[in-house]
């Protein structure tokens, strides 16, 4: 029996158990969970796709608040690395999309309060996302280009904390090993038609490894004005300043064995790392036209100054970037009756433009600026129009149809002409359809199947030409067709489960390769991804919650020969473990005491296309404890956490196809942190 047949059998066995359990117990719900990741609000049980949700307690409750991975690890189908290298940013992959990214998030759409964190070219950085004021995160697992366009192998939708009716102010100082310090000030409230919430945080972290120090200040603010009973304007203003984020670089296996805390010597010599300054301003206008029609308008602006020293060339290089992004969109939703059946139609348009001024200098001995080697302007313009229709065929069947057309134009103007004019342009356009069918034999059980397509252009950075300036004219977008079946159900009042089985066929997969410390990209011929995702959540007694998330990933190159004539057909796609298992249990006592324990197991990971280098499997556990007490208008919550509780040796990041076999970035050993939240509510006691 092949892998696909085995997965299919597991799927139907577990689904049938869910039906039997639901029939044996009272049909009562855990509570309705609504999501908006699919562009419109819909009950999670009725979405014909794999969607996960974490709330404010998962995100903020006793966590160290240094990365999205702290809460998203509870979801199947998601694998995250690079938590501790702030220069390279968190790497997040969904069903393999994003696994190849050399830095940041790639191939996955990221939005905060409806405003894209993803650039028009598809790259997303999370360094400006404020964990301390995030209220809810929804994740779509699987291609959603029919909704979100380019680079949408999945979507991460973040909602900032809403202002409470009662004004408050709070502080949250925290400290930990490896020189960790983070301090937060938060305040918010409502007055008449206005509401506001502001969070200011400052992070100072020496890091586990040498040359790993980070400094970051963030300001996240959201202001709302209720124009009338049917319309509201929300303003989002964010600021991030990181004057220091050192990059310790990758190590060979022998170097990790010798001393996992060391940095690559060349990274130290060239002072590798980055600094950034970013401001983001966004506006969201919402208007209801009765109960059946809704209009949403979005407009945003981003200013980003970025400088990066990389260990490329004999003495390193310095890259500067001055970026401006402007964009907006409109969406209209209409609910009606079609032949006596409920129907909801959504249409929309997104317009975005990215303007980058990029410079590059060689570094001379002593890591001082040497000769200039690049000065160019890069523009990316994106236009996308989409439509989605949800039609209730019967009381138990619902059909969802969607489609989106995108056009992206890349243009580079070379201003450094001493080595010739490398100006150029690339244009990509794509139509991405989707179809989903849901069958709900009862309120607590839903089966679904879906087909969708995604596409992913190279980013402006990935279009970099390894043989000179301008764009690589040989690099094409990758496309993917996704086939999925799943089941979502409840067993009694306290148990919920989800199972998804999928296959993704990818053409022209974008694969990284390292050329003397700098990453470039090439297209693979074809690849195949198939897997299964299982989530089970239970609340056996009041205050006790447990969850289990399992991911099986079978990803391989079907047809791939690189530019050097190496044939990798049949090899496993690097960067993603075959098996991933996460267990979490937490308890909150009515006295105010609480605690949680979680453990993550990840299989070995291939580090290169040839599958000759691997990062070992690991099991990492974490423990968090705390207490919340109320004293009049005051709220006091001390907390303590231990990461890597059992002191596991493992790699926190694997650099795919790294030059010189420097694949590995070791993660910290056992380390503790602690702090407290002190909050004052401006209300009578």
pLDDT tens-digit map of 8-48: 443 443 344 333 333 333 333 356 788 888 999 999 989 99
Backbone angles phi, psi at 348, to 5 degrees: -165, 170
Tell the residue number behind the tokens 């040359």, with chain if given: 211
Note if the pTM is more than 0.95: no
| Closest by Cα among 575, 502, 503, 495 to 535 | 495
The C-alpha atoms of residue 422 and residue 360 are separated, in whole angstroms, by: 15
Tally: H helices and E strands in the chain = 6, 40
* Helical residues (DSSP H) of 244-320, grouped into ranges: 253-258, 265-269
pLDDT at 16: 40
- Structure confidence by residue, pLDDT tens digits, 279-321: 999 999 999 998 899 999 999 999 999 999 999 888 899 999 9
Spell out, as residue ranges, where the chain has pLDDT lower than 70.
Answer: 1-31, 465-470, 514-518, 684-685
Give CA 143 to chain center in angstroms: 14
Task: Copy the structure tokens of residue 312.
Answer: 């490329």
> Hey, where are the domains in the chain?
3-681
DSSP code of residue 148: H
For 648-661, give one letter per residue: b (16+ CB within 10 A) or e.
eebbbbbbbbbbeb
* DSSP-assigned letter for residue 608: S
State what percent of residues in the chain have pLDDT above 90.
72
In this prediction, residue 26 carries a pLDDT of 30
Answer CATH for 3-681 from 1.10.287.70, 2.40.170.20, 3.10.20.740, 3.40.1480.10:
2.40.170.20
At residue 3, the pLDDT reads: 44
Name residues whose C-beta falls within 8 Å of residue 378's C-beta, 6 or more positions apart in sequence. Answer: 354, 355, 356, 358, 410, 411, 412, 460
Short-list 423, 401, 398, 396, CA closest to 412: 423
User: Which residues make beta-bridge pairs with 614?
Assistant: 606
């Amino acid at each position: 029996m092949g892998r696909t047949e085995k997965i299919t059998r597991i799927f139907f066995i577990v689904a049938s158990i869910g039906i039997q359990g639901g029939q044996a117990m009272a049909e009562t719900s855990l509570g309705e969970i609504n999501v908006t990741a699919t562009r419109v609000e819909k009950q999670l049980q009725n979405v014909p796709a794999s969607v996960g949700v974490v709330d404010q307690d998962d995100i903020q409750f006793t966590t160290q608040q240094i990365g999205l991975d702290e809460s998203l690890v509870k979801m199947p189908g998601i694998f995250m690395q690079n938590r501790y290298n702030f220069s390279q940013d968190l790497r997040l992959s969904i069903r393999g999309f994003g696994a190849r990214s050399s830095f940041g998030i790639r191939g996955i759409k990221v939005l905060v309060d409806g405003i894209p964190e993803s650039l028009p070219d598809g790259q997303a950085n999370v360094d400006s996302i404020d964990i301390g004021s995030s209220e809810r995160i929804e994740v779509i697992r699987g291609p959603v280009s029919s909704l979100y366009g380019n680079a949408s192998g999945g979507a991460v939708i973040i909602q900032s904390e809403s202002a409470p009716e009662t004004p408050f102010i709070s502080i949250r100082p925290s400290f930990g090993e490896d020189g960790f310090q983070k301090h937060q000030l938060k305040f918010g409230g409502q007055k008449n038609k206005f509401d506001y919430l502001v969070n200011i945080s400052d992070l100072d972290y020496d890091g586990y490894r040498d040359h790993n120090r980070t400094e970051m200040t963030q300001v996240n603010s959201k202001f709302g004005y209720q124009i009338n009973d049917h319309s509201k304007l929300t303003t989002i203003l964010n600021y991030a300043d990181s004057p220091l984020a050192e990059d310790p670089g990758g190590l060979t296996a022998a170097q990790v064995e010798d001393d996992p805390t060391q940095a690559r010597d060349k990274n130290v010599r060239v002072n590798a790392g980055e600094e950034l300054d970013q401001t983001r301003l966004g506006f969201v206008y919402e208007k209801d036209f009765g109960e059946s029609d809704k209009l949403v308008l979005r407009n945003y602006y981003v200013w980003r100054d970025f400088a990066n020293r990389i260990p490329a060339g004999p003495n390193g290089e310095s890259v500067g970037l001055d970026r401006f992004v402007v964009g907006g969109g409109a969406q209209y939703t209409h609910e009606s009756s079609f032949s006596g059946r409920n129907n909801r139609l959504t249409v929309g348009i997104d317009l975005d433009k990215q303007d980058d001024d990029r410079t590059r200098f060689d570094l001379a001995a002593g890591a001082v600026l040497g000769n200039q080697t690049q000065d160019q302007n890069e523009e990316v313009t994106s236009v996308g129009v989409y439509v989605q229709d949800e039609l209730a065929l019967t009381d138990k069947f619902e059909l969802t149809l969607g489609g989106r057309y995108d056009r992206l134009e890349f243009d580079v103007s070379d201003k450094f002409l001493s080595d010739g004019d490398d100006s150029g342009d690339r244009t990509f356009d794509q139509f991405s359809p989707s179809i989903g069918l849901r069958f709900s034999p009862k309120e607590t059980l839903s089966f679904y199947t879906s087909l969708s397509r995604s596409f992913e252009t190279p980013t402006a950075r990935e279009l970099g030409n390894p043989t000179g300036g301008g764009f690589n004219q040989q690099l094409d977008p990758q496309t993917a067709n996704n086939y999925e079946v799943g089941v979502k159900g409840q067993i009694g009042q306290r148990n919920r489960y989800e199972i998804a089985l999928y296959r993704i066929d990818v053409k022209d997969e974008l694969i990284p390769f390292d050329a003397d410390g700098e990453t470039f990209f090439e297209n693979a011929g074809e690849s195949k991804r198939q897997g299964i995702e299982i989530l089970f959540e239970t609340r056996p007694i009041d205050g006790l919650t447990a969850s289990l998330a399992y991911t099986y990933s079978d990803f391989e190159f079907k047809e791939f020969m690189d530019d050097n004539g190496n044939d990798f057909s049949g090899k496993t796609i690097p960067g993603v473990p075959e098996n991933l298992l996460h267990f979490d249990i937490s308890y909150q006592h009515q006295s105010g005491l609480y605690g949680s324990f979680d453990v993550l197991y990840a299989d070995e990971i291939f580090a290169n296309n040839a599958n000759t280098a691997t990062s070992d499997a690991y099991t990492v556990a974490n423990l968090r404890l705390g207490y919340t007490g109320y004293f009049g208008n005051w709220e006091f919550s001390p907390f303590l956490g231990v990461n890597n509780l059992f002191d596991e040796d493992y790699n926190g990041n694997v650099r795919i196809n790294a030059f010189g076999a420097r694949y590995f970035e070791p993660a910290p050993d056992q380390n503790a942190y602690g702090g407290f939240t002190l909050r004052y509510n401006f209300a009578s006691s």
